[in-house]
Amino acid sequence: MYQEKIQQTLTTEGIKKPTLIQKATYEPILNGASVIALAKTGTGKTLAYALPALERTKIGMKNSVVIIAPTTELAVQIRHAINPYIHALGLKGISLVGAGNRKRQENNLKKKHPEVVVATPGRFFDFFSSGRIKTQDIKSLVIDEADDILEFNKMDLLSALGQNLASDAQILLFGATASPITKKAEDLFARTFLLIDVRKEQKTTHKNYFLQVDNAHKIEFLQRLTQLDHFKGILFFDSNQTMMRFAGIFGHTKTKFTLLANEFGKEKREDALHEFAEGKIKLLLATDLAARGLDIPDVTYVINFDIPNEVNTYLHRAGRTGRMGAKGYVVTLGDDHDFRDLKKLLTGEVELSRVYFAGYNLTTKRPKKKVKKNTQEMSANQTISKKKKKHRKRKNKNKGYHPHYLKEQK
């Protein structure tokens, strides 16, 4: 299906066969069609748009492929994912992100004349408005996480850009969920799109659980979750403010964690992702904006601190685990009222089950109620307990775990 150089690189990268979305979009993109592609998260969308777009790119044609991503982290992730294929075809690629050095990025545009540009919206239009990138250069405009970007970031600018591209240029909108904006894509970009939606054909490999707990015991339950077998999880919050407040409290426990916060500098965010990806720390705190589209290996748990307000929010979070067919678990915390609300929200999308602790695992089987001991046994146990307390040595006070980023920010 792919060119020989691409196929060799895929083999080197350990990728044996294309995924469903990759198969479905390859020929249309290679033949120059504009496409709206919808597939579940973690099913290979990056290579689905990148490989055919790269194959139709000619060496020396600067800025031929422009890939727009909503966040710096996702843009960097995309660049790393496609770099081996860029090099295999003898092309050059650069990243234009808001967190990077602008002068250095401008020099790369001038001197390297890259065929492939991966950018965040703000930094892309910064250089576009100054004439460093021209509409006639762009042959493939890719908008990743299209439902997010078109709804919240630079929609009017992207619409105008798309309408001014050459007639032989293609626009590729990729995402995991449809939105009112992507449904209006033909009006926004003044062109015809081919819709490719494989979501119903894709199997979900993660389980969706609800763990009942009141607010007073959430920290205790979260500590127990981190002790589960093979735990590596992302804890999602609806707002940055709630996350930072929780981090300040959770920092007094002995549970190690890191977090992805918008106000942190580029280096601190990169360090947090690196520590989590490498398994040095097994719990990452994040908001939807910060973790949008991130592909972090071996994430086994996604935890919702509160129930999400929208189905798409839930599905995007859930997509951080169970990627490329791996097992994963999505656990939402809340009370009985929250369970009813979430079940109603997810009707027709996913099957939600109550879950309980069973040692170092979770189970959907409700635990049996403990039988109360008789009065004599209870009295005897209390007497023994009191005697033990008299001889118990006082342990060192739990000083807790105080992450460096809670003490000092860049």
Q: In Å, how far are 112, 177, 232, 299, 306 from 243, measured between CA atoms? A: 41, 25, 18, 20, 11
Hey, CA dihedral for 210, 368, 327, 290, is it positive or negative? Answer: positive
pLDDT at 410: 45
Say which amino acid occupies 338. D
Q: Is residue 379 part of a domain?
A: no
What gap in Å lies between CA 376 and CA 312, rounded to an integer?
Answer: 56
What gap in Å lies between CA 303 and CA 249, rounded to an integer?
Answer: 18
pLDDT at 377: 56
Q: Is residue 393 part of a domain?
A: no
Q: Specify whether 144 is located in the same domain as 210.
A: no
Q: Specify whether 62 is located in the same domain as 185.
A: yes
Q: Specify whether 93 is located in the same domain as 130.
A: yes
pLDDT at 322: 87
Cβ-based neighbour number of residue 293 at 10 Å: 24
Q: Is residue 377 part of a domain?
A: no
Predicted confidence (pLDDT) per residue in 134-192, tens digit: 999 999 999 998 877 766 557 889 999 999 999 999 999 998 887 777 788 999 999 99
Q: Domain limits at 53?
A: 4-201
pLDDT at 146: 82
Say how many residues make up the chain.
Answer: 410
82 neighbors 37 (Cβ within 8 angstroms): no
Q: Specify whether 329 is located in the same domain as 255.
A: yes
pLDDT in tens, the chain (410 residues): 899 999 999 999 999 999 999 999 999 999 999 999 999 888 899 999 999 999 999 999 999 999 999 888 899 999 999 999 999 999 999 999 987 899 999 999 999 999 999 999 999 999 999 999 999 999 999 999 887 776 655 788 999 999 999 999 999 999 888 777 778 899 999 999 999 999 989 877 789 999 999 999 999 999 999 999 999 999 999 988 999 999 999 999 989 999 988 777 778 888 998 999 999 999 999 988 766 778 888 999 999 999 998 888 898 899 889 887 788 999 999 999 999 999 999 998 889 999 999 999 999 998 887 665 555 555 555 655 555 555 555 555 545 555 555 555 44
Placement of tokens 């078109």 in the chain? 150
Strand ranges (E), 295-407: 301-304, 328-334, 352-354, 356-358, 361-363
* Terminal C-alpha separation, the chain: 48
* Residue 126 three-state SS: helix
What gap in Å lies between CA 327 and CA 341, rounded to an integer?
Answer: 26
What gap in Å lies between CA 342 and CA 305, rounded to an integer?
Answer: 13
Q: Is residue 383 part of a domain?
A: no
What gap in Å lies between CA 30 and CA 371, rounded to an integer?
Answer: 67
What gap in Å lies between CA 367 and CA 129, rounded to an integer?
Answer: 62
Q: Is residue 245 part of a domain?
A: yes
Predicted confidence (pLDDT) per residue in 217-264, tens digit: 999 999 999 999 999 999 999 988 999 999 999 999 989 999 988 777
Q: Specify whether 309 is located in the same domain as 360.
A: yes
| Domains in the chain, number | 2
Q: Is residue 99 part of a domain?
A: yes
- Last residue of a domain, which of 178, 201, 224? 201
Q: Decide: pTM greater than 0.85.
A: no
Q: Specify whether 192 is located in the same domain as 282.
A: no
Pairing of strands 361-363, 356-358: antiparallel
Q: Specify whether 195 is located in the same domain as 250.
A: no
Q: Specify whether 257 is located in the same domain as 193.
A: no
pLDDT at 349: 84
